[in-house]
Chains A and B, each alone.
Chain A
Amino acid sequence: MIHLKVTNLQKRFGGNHVLKGVNFEINGPELIGLIGPNGAGKTTMTNILDGAIKPTSGTVYLGEKRIDQLQPFEVARAGLGRTFQVTRSFRRMTVLENLYVPALAMGNTHGQAELRDKAMGVLEFLTIDHLRNEYAQALSGGQQKLLELGRLLMLNPDVIILDEPFAGVHPRLMEVIYAYIQRVNDEGKAIIIISHQMDSIFSLSQRLLVLNFGDLIADGPPEDVKNDPAVIEAYLGAEEGEEETA
């Protein structure tokens, strides 16, 4: 049973109080959207969850294990994987090699042929199997996003954070990403999606977290969050206002 517990998470960069005591829990294979205006603290929270930066105070537990003081590779091995806002594929390595890295880092016990079969299965699902021997730098931006998602399938974590998975992606590839999210969620993994694409977030998520200037101002089903006055004022309201003005 997946259990991620974030308690009173705070982060300061000098005088900038980026996270002001965030609390939430994930129980089971939830599909969660994390939204908030620019500067809300979404990326900082992601970086803390994945071990890239340490919180000023507060704790993060994944199951029974405290992960907020671990190194990123230890967090990954503990069962939390992520993608990056700007795609970070290993550009001068082939597509297959990109997939082998997490599998071997996790201590792949299978044979070479089995590992290759598994990687090929992932690539086929992501519709980029024809590119398996190409260097990642030869892939389009959207294909590189798919490759990042493929690496997470090979890592096989319990909790996945997808940072802007739909940004700059062709609609056809977006369908592949939707299918990916559904498949991974069906496999019993919890997913946190960070995105500015409201349509995608509202249609996919079972639960929404809304950050605003470091505070978690809403946490609930998308319909409830959509109608939350604090959210409307801080985030959605601004958009609606802009639309009205336009």
Chain B
Amino acid sequence: MRKQIPNIAGGIFLILLLIFPLTYGAADYDYIMHILITGFFYAILAASWSMLSGYAGQFSFGHMGFMAIGAYTTGLFCHYLYLSPEPTQLCAEMPFFGQWLVVVNPIGVTSTTLTQDCLRQALDAWGGTVDVQPMPVLLGIVLGTLMGAVAGFLVGMLVLRLRAAYLALFTLGFSEILKATISAEIDITRGQAGLELPPLYPNGVNLFGTYFEPTDKLPPYYTMLALLLACLAILGWLARSKFGLFVRALREDQDAAAALGVNTTRYKVLVFTITCAMAAAAGAVQGHYVQIITPNMLFLLQMSLVVAMAVIGGIENFVAAAIGAIILQVLLELLRNSFVIGGVEVDMTIWRLVFFGLLLMITLRFFRNGLIAPIIGYFRREGVAEETVAKRASTVTGPGGGPHRTEAPE
């Protein structure tokens, strides 16, 4: 029964998350919802990174890079591609299932005026007589996820022979190159000015018999939560399958695993592909939620935050990593509230990071597998030690090696 306590607690936690938006009605509703949506976003990143680094032992510091690939793929897709019933005669375009696929010309940061690109000029010329459709957001998210998977596959192939610090540095380099490229290609990505994305539900959405505007928080809340649950379900299925067993063997000793018949190359590439696809999916959804993406999402600090969340939750347990991410995201926001001690105001906008750093240091020093994973492990592995002692007492090894089993002595 006690072994089921983590499952029961997880179920209660999930129910609370599911009913929260329907029951919470305070004035800071949007703010709290935003914190939780962001928490789910980080939870996907922390859980997938936990599978990659905690389970498979592939310490990648490029996870935010794959997240950005997902975000920028859907961002560029939705920003530059449109469907028109008439050719614009101004843009690059091609016939596409009875319509015209229009590729808007990149004009960099000047496009903030929204009048200089070829499509705007065509729309002005048409005077509202032609209905040009943007690309479906969902298709952009799917493409972003696929692009993240492809990038993860390629990086996985490139780092096959790299281990430990070399792998970490390689992936960090990959992320930095990506950031520099996005920053430099201002014409296409709009650089630091940021690429604008349509909202997750551009036309709003009906949920529970209520219409929600594109800017409402409830639809993205459930969308991000659903993505998190889907990722956790996939990770859980993988962890319980031979995939999970093999990637853990890979983490423990790659050479020994190979000597026992495990195709280490396949599983190393697979774990990169799957976890990077998850990071990309999270990035794509988050991009549409916040509606603007910049290269700043690739700052090392962001990657450090994901690593810290996974480490504090428990790097070798993706559920613990996800819970850790949500709790830390909420804590970091709550700690923004400054307070006064003995007439001295403590500015928590600065001190919260000190608190965060201290928590990370204490975890690393005293709780190697995080703060949440050991609690889950305590219940899951309950009785193992007693069982070992009891079985040992009932076994007497006979001479010559073969075991001679007897009843335990009185």
Could you list which residues of chain A lie within 8 angstroms of chain B, going by C-beta atoms? 50-52, 71-73, 76-77, 81-82, 84, 88-93, 97, 100-102, 104-106, 124-125, 127, 129-131, 133-134, 151, 155, 172, 175-180
Contact = CB atoms under 8 A, between A and B. Distances in A.
A143 to B, nearest CB: 11
B79 interface: no
B400 A129 contact: no
A101 B258 CA distance: 10
Contacts of B391: 129-130
B401 A101 contact: no
Interface centre among B253, B256, B316 (most CB of A within 10 A): B256
Interface residues of B, number: 36
B264 to A, nearest CB: 7
Given A101-B262, A102-B261, 17 more contacts: A73-B261, A73-B262, A76-B260, A88-B255, A90-B248, A92-B248, A97-B248, A101-B245, A104-B242, A105-B262, A125-B402, A130-B388, A133-B387, A175-B399, A176-B397, A177-B401, A179-B400
5 contacts: A51-B258, A76-B260, A90-B253, A92-B248, A129-B391
A1 to B, nearest CB: 22
A93 B252 contact: yes
A135 to B, nearest CB: 9
A105 B260 CA distance: 7
A101 B264 CA distance: 12
B256 A90 contact: yes
B265 interface: yes
Contacts of B255: 52, 72, 84, 88
A101 B257 contact: yes
A213 B313 CA distance: 53
Nearest to A107: B261
B388 A133 contact: yes
B26 interface: no
A76 B259 contact: yes
B260 A102 contact: yes
A130 B405 CA distance: 11
B110 interface: no
Interface string B237-273: 0000010011011011101111111111100000000
A90 B67 CA distance: 31
A206 B222 CA distance: 70
Interface string B355-399: 000000000000000000000000001001101100110110101
Contacts of B242: 100, 104-105
Given A90-B252, A101-B249, A130-B395, A76 B403 contact: no
B395 A91 contact: no
A101 B385 CA distance: 23
Nearest to A94: B384
Interface in B112-150: none
Interface centre among A50, A82, A106, A175 (most CB of B within 10 A): A175
A76 B261 contact: yes
B259 A81 contact: yes
Identify the 10 closest CB pairs spanning chains A and B, nearest first.
Answer: A179-B401, A130-B391, A105-B261, A90-B252, A72-B258, A76-B261, A176-B401, A102-B260, A88-B256, A130-B392
Contacts of A180: 401
Nearest to A151: B260
B399 A101 contact: no
A97 B240 CA distance: 11
A241 to B, nearest CB: 35
A151 B291 CA distance: 53
Contacts of B259: 50, 52, 72-73, 76, 81-82, 84
Contacts of A81: 259-260
Nearest to B385: A134
A175 B262 CA distance: 30
Contacts of B388: 130-131, 133-134
